[in-house]
Amino acid sequence: MLNETQEFNYEGMEYLQHGDRSMMLRLCRAAGVGPFPLINDL
């Protein structure tokens, strides 16, 4: 278990488009030197 606080960088991007509708992805990346696990919020 981690006992320290981790900072994250958040990036929103379009990953799929159907006609005039878009699906967005919010990518959360841990700040600093990795490797880190990946967290996706669709």
Full residue range of the structural domain in which residue 12 is found: 8-41
Q: How many domains does the chain have?
A: 1
Whole-structure pTM value: 0.48
3 belongs to a structural domain: no
For the chain, which residues score pLDDT lower than 70?
A: 1-5, 38-42
For the chain, the C-alpha Rg in angstroms (whole number) is: 14
Tell me, what's the pLDDT at 37? 72
Return d(Cα 42, Cα 38) in angstroms, integer.
13
* Among the listed residues 41, 1, 2, the one whose alpha carbon sits nearest the alpha carbon of residue 25: 41
2 belongs to a structural domain: no
Tell me, what's the pLDDT at 8? 84
Tell me, what's the pLDDT at 5? 66
How many residues are listed for the chain in this entry?
Answer: 42
Tell me, what's the pLDDT at 23? 92
Tell me, what's the pLDDT at 9? 86
